[in-house]
Amino acid sequence: MTDTLAMPSAPEEQSIGDAYVLRGVTKTYTQKGRTVQALRGIDLEIPRGQLVAVQGPTGGGKSTLLQMLGALDRPTSGSVQMGRNDLSTANDKELAKIRGVEIGFVFQGFNLIPTLSAAENVETAFATNELPRAERRRRSAEALASVGLQDRADHLPAELSGGQQQRVAIARALVKEPTVLLADEPTGALDEGTRDEIMALLEKVWHERLLTVVIVTHDSAVARRAERRLRIKDGAIKEV
Amino acid sequence: MFATYLRRELSNRKKQSIIIAIGMALAIALVILVNGVSAAVKDAETTALSSVNGVGTDITISKTAKPGSGNQRFAFGSGDQSSASDGSTKLSQSTLAAAMGTATYSSSALKKVKAVDGVSAATATLSLRNSTFSGQIAQGSGTSGGGTTGQSGAGGGAPSGASGTGGSGPSSFNVDSFSVAGITPGTTKVGPMSSTELSSGRYLKASDDGTYVTVLDASYAKSESLKVGSTLTMGGKKFTVVGIVKSTSSDSTTASNTYIPLDTAQKLADLDGKVSNIYVSAASAGDVATLKTALEKVLPSVTVNTQADLASSISGSLSTVSTLVANLGTWLSLLVLAAAFLIAVLFTISGVGRRTKEFGTLKAIGWSNGRIVRQVTGESLVNGLIGGAIGTVVGIAAIVIVNLISPTLSTDGATAGAAGGAGAPGGGGGAPGAAQAASSAATAISLHIPFTGGIVLIAVGLAVLGGLIAGAFGGWRAARLRPAEAFRSVA
């Protein structure tokens, strides 16, 4: 990895208000009989349309923070406000709905369904069947085209390179037009050249769609491209 | 998406799908076969019983005989003997009496039966046995004075004769015995006549009441070279044969050798106002058990048997197969079915375990628990249906093979209301009495498994049930999966 990536300019138009407001967030869980205090009283505001990078050592609480932001988990104490939604008190059904409409996820390991084609993987993002099938397919094709994979629509994940798989995952995250994009080590499994491609793609969609983007990364080069950098260590967070 | 995802998952996990499908197929095929054999055995039992009770009979009412009752006795008076030129004495006597093991009760019971709700039709019969003792006693034998008294049993064998030695010279006796059923003339819808058809002549009709006319079983008529218009002596009276009937079931014989008007039978057997059996047809097949209870209340001193009760009286290989199917077959099929369901459940749960990351991801992108449960259950259901389809084909193939082989089952000895056994030795010379049982003796019945749409319904039902059970467990496991924990466990 190199540290030569340039800092992007912020989107011309920013939404007003905070995408996230976290107050006194703690998270404790038990793993293999061991109690882990992953977050210790986090206070944080993330304005709408901001590109934020979260860095920190392994086990520092990066992924746990992302899960709180992504409505995947509720804090042990404190509150997580996402727009008008209080994620700390919402029930499972409400959290699933928020995830299905408001949040797009990009994972380090791509997390594509191995038996589905690229287009079908993108289509899984439509968590409900409210849209007609033809419309879902049209949007999926458009999303794939926007990441430059229109000619790989029928390929299975195993038939695609790592970079292509991550592009499919980004298309899946964006196809439902979320307000927030959360990426957990999105370039962690990619080589340097592909990393730049993926980051360029994320920056492009951030610019074009006025998204709030939170990227968890080990890579300082990736982190430096963000508007704002946060460091989390032993469950505590600070601005860099 | 549901169908595409389902199809891709099943085709991608072929090994697991095949194992589940084979397990389900084996279980369903076994259930189909056992169910089919069970139906075939039931049909065979019905066939065996219908030859005795008649096709339309749901319930029979009889009275349990006291031990030793029904033995026929010959009391020879001067009118039954004549002297021959060689000094020997010729004896001949024909008696008509209740068959061995048959108890009689008042015919007023029929009126009570007909008054019970749920009775569609009922008729009474009187089971008798005609025994003709004829023979010659040599001079010097003890036949004078009070006469000779002998005893003949009513049994299940063919009429036979025997000779014995009495006194100073050789004596010979012959005991001819056959079954006689006193029936209500004109009744063919319920009772013994309902499982017969005319070979020649006519059935007894209402105007035959009190007359000496008879209808013969075709086999008996053939063995005795009798035909319509012939005469036959019963109870010392000559009867004119007006019709010959044959069995409509697979049995070669009907319930009795001969049929005569009920009132004539009662008069000749000195059993005025008595009957031995009442045959009842229920208004609804579903109410037989209720009707049985009602009849038992009305007639507390008699035995009320349904076809199911009577089926237990069948013995022989039919009984063996019936027991085998009811016990081993049912339990085996249930065991295999449970094993197949268990395999399906375990594979589904293990499949969900392997797909933790996949389901965690789907939940993360907003799939609801319900949608994931539907996906898992759908996959299990289709797996089950594939197994059900294979199982149906295998089960039907097994049925076809069994029907091609067509194994023969036998019903040994007595069925309902039948009395059998060898007769006791006769008086002077010791003639073993034997008679054909009222019901059929060893009867061979081919096992034919009926193929019905119900079999396919059972297969589909079990396949759906198996799929739903496995899907429910798998879905429950998937629903419990929390996305954050899923990612943590995968990490």
Concatenate the DSSP letters of all residues of B201-267 into one string.
Answer: E----GGGTTS-EEEEEHHHHHHTT--TT-EEEETTEEEEEEEEEEESSSSSS-S-SEEEEHHHHHH
Contacts of A64 in chain B (CB under 8 A): 484
Residue of B3 and B452 predicted with greater confidence? B3
CB B376 within 8 A of CB B474: yes
Residue of B313 and B129 predicted with greater confidence? B129
Residue type, A84: R
Residue of A46 and B48 predicted with greater confidence? A46
d(CA B160, CA B154): 12
Residue of B473 and B426 predicted with greater confidence? B473
Residue B358 distance to chain A (closest CA, Å): 6
Length of chain A: 240
What percent of chain B clears pLDDT 90, i.e. is strictly above it? 15
CB B384 within 8 A of CB B466: yes
Least confident range of A7-11, A190-194, B153-157, B375-379:
B153-157
Half-sphere exposure of A171 (CA within 13 A, CB side): 32
A219 touches chain B (CB under 8 A): no
pLDDT score at B310: 65
pLDDT score at A70: 93
**The token pair that represents B403 in the structure block:** 């029907």
Mean pLDDT value of segment A71-99: 92
List the beta bridge partners of residue A172.
none
d(CA B155, CA B31): 42
Give just the sign of the alpha carbon dihedral A163, A166, A168, A170: negative
d(CA B128, CA B277): 11
Contacts of B362 in chain A (CB under 8 A): 113, 124
Averaged pLDDT of chain B: 76
- Asked if A123 lies within 8 A of B1 by C-beta distance, the reply is yes
- Asked if B361 lies within 8 A of A100 by C-beta distance, the reply is no
A32 touches chain B (CB under 8 A): no
pLDDT score at B99: 78
pLDDT score at A89: 92
Least confident range of B56-60, B312-316, B377-381:
B312-316
pLDDT score at A209: 84
A124 touches chain B (CB under 8 A): yes
- B62: part of which helix (H) or strand (E)? strand B59-62
C-alpha distances in Å from residue A234, one per residue of A58, A198, A240, B2:
10, 29, 16, 42
pLDDT score at B155: 37
**3-state secondary structure at position B123:** strand
b (16+ CB within 10 A) / e for B201-212: bebbeeebeebb
pLDDT score at B448: 80
Q: What is the pLDDT of residues B276-325, one digit of tens each?
A: 999 988 887 667 788 888 898 888 888 888 876 666 655 555 666 666 66
**3-state secondary structure at position A203:** helix
Is A16 a residue whose pLDDT tops 80? no
Averaged pLDDT of chain A: 87
b (16+ CB within 10 A) / e for B151-167: bbbbbbbebbebebebb
- Asked if A126 lies within 8 A of B1 by C-beta distance, the reply is yes
Give the ipTM of the model, two decimals please: 0.88
- Asked if B365 lies within 8 A of A125 by C-beta distance, the reply is yes
Task: Please tell me which residue of chain A has the smallest CA distance to B13.
Answer: A115
Domain range annotation of chain B: 2-45+320-407+447-490, 64-301+427-438
Mean pLDDT value of segment B413-423: 37
**3-state secondary structure at position A24:** strand
Least confident range of B23-27, B147-151, B298-302:
B147-151
Structural domains in chain A, sorted by start: 50-71+100-239 (3.40.50.300)
Task: Please tell me which residue of chain A has the smallest CA distance to B12.
Answer: A115
